[in-house]
Amino acid sequence: MLSRQWGTKEHRDWLIEDAGQQFAFYRGSLNPDGGFDYLDDDGRPLPDQVHELHATGRMVHSFALGHAAGLVGDTVMIDHGLDALWNRHRDAEHGGYVWSFGADGQVADGSKLAYGHAFVLLAAAGAKVLGHPDADRLLDDITEVIDRRYWDAPTGRMREEYARDWSEISDYRGMNANMHSTEAFLAAFEATGERLFLDRALGLIRFFVGEMGAANGWRLPEHFDLNWQPDPDYEGNPMFRPAGTTPGHAFEWARLAVQAWDLDGRRDGDLLDWAKSLYHQARADGWKPDDGGSVVYTVDQQGRVLRDNRYWWPVTEAIGTAAVLIKTGEDLAGDYKGYWDSACAHFVDEDRGGWYPDQHRDGVQFSGKPDIYHSIQAVLFPLVPEISGLTRALEKVRG
């Protein structure tokens, strides 16, 4: 049986092996006509699909990590993704980046979402750390778009969404887009050293975690109205805006808070305390030992399960957060092993590579193996002793 114990050579060797299998599997997603395809269980492109902005950005980010670690020997996937962001998603007429384009290269959905733009910044930051020649133009452009269209300076938060021509399409405000913007701002600070990015991330953490978390029993509200009042009755897209609160997001916010604490010189101990509170509440609400153990999708504000779907990404976020908290001295090795037991029992495909997205594989929410972003970070975070600066830290594990 493979070792899932934190810190052992056997476990480290397995992590590197799985990462290599993931990168090999998802290389097959490169579509020669532009962008990346979603793949079925065997690595074949799924039919009749569009190329979505968050998926393009995530692929660039993930393969930048792989290249830094020496697990990917070339920049073909990074080059291809940056080209798709610049020449397919970028809207030369109106500015910003459209949500998706089709097989013909034409815009399929011209919506402009803060969520998607966060992944453009994340991709640009990763490319910048690698010294990619196309990184600066993308980083400059996406930073200008975020500054002009999304960043609401009076509140210190991100606006949510627009039509292609930047007309307002809703007054919804969401935690998820701000969480991934926090991730992107931290990465941009790591890539550039510009303090503005870190300050924005810290401000978002203080609101969504320090203020909203503490006021709601460390169960984070997901949905807000125009005035940033929580909207507990809201229910939208089941993938991006489900009703209730999401333990997987609480795990993710906890990791981001620890990384921000580290990047800021470990000056504000509240960030670390908030992260621990979030982690333990998310585990209490989300981790269910039944059916081999996994994390439920959503719960209500009292911690009662709303959606009992068992997806791969909350487990990967639990792994990543446990890893960074262990690095701060927390005794979570038992939790960490349990998450890996769950991942290997339900999600990891050791034969073909890649991870299944749904424990029960019913095809309702996900088809095939649509994503590398969550699963690759789960295997890479534990490989380095550093808490933040993953791309540069991985350069030390080359060879």
94 catalytic residue (yes or no) = no
Q: Which two tokens stand for residue 178?
A: 């701000």
Which two structure tokens, joined as six digits, stand for 194?
A: 């510009």
Tokens (6 digits) for 122: 């994340």
> Burial, 168: exposed, middle or buried (Cβ in 10 Å; 0-12, 13-18, 19+)?
exposed
Distance between CA atoms of residues 63 and 52, nearest Å = 17
Q: What residues form DSSP beta bridges with 230?
A: 224
In eight-state DSSP terms, residue 46 is P
Specify the DSSP class assigned to residue 383: G
- One-letter amino acid of 84: A
Maximum distance among all Cα pairs of the chain, rounded to whole angstroms: 56
249 included as an active-site residue: yes
Q: Where are the beta strands (DSSP E) in the chain?
A: 51-52, 100-101, 107-109, 112-113, 151-152, 157-158, 161-162, 173-174, 223-224, 287-288, 294-295, 298-299, 305-307
What span, in angstroms and rounded, lies between the C-alpha atoms of 21 and 46?
20
Catalytic residue among 89, 223, 249, 346: 249
Whether 56 contacts 79, CB under 8 Å: no
* Catalytic site positions: 249, 374
